[in-house]
């Protein structure tokens, strides 16, 4: 037991620089040639191979429930770069809607 911990610590210290070097290495990759939602899961997996999850062109997919259905779902896929825009636009729309309701609600007298 006393020998395992120092050996494990030495192994981690030797492996840490190699792991850090892989994360900081620049990866040159062109954006996907077709829209990610039109790609098959196999194509997306092949495209993402070797890309870190934080890369702007890494493709992430989410399933959304169709309105009016209990079981039907649709798959929406975008690059990290596009997801950032989609989330920002959704947040702005939510803020605008909330602001519209608050400003109209404040004018009424109860």
Dihedral (CA of 80, 82, 85, 86) sign? negative
Domain boundaries, the chain: 29-105
Residue 77, classed as helix, strand or coil, is strand
- Return the pLDDT at 8: 45
- Return the pLDDT at 102: 83
Asked if 80 contacts 55 with a C-beta cutoff of 8 angstroms, the reply is: yes
Q: State how far the Cα of 38 lies from the Cα of 33, in Å rounded to an integer.
A: 10
Each residue's pLDDT tens digit, 52-86: 999 999 999 999 888 898 899 999 999 999 999 99
- Return the pLDDT at 1: 45
Each residue's pLDDT tens digit, 3-38: 554 554 555 454 544 444 445 455 778 899 999 989
Does the reported pTM lie above 0.85? no
């Amino acid at each position: 037991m006393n020998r395992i911990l120092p050996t494990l610590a030495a192994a981690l210290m030797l492996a840490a620089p190699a792991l850090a070097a892989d994360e900081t290495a620049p990866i040159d990759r062109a954006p996907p040639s077709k829209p990610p939602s039109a790609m098959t899961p196999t194509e997306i997996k092949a495209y993402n191979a070797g890309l870190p999850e934080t890369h702007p062109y890494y493709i992430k997919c989410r399933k959304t429930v169709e309105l009016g259905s209990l079981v039907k779902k649709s798959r929406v896929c975008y690059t990290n770069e596009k997801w950032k825009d989609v989330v920002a636009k959704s947040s702005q729309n939510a803020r605008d809607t909330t602001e519209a309701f608050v400003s109209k609600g404040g004018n009424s007298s109860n």
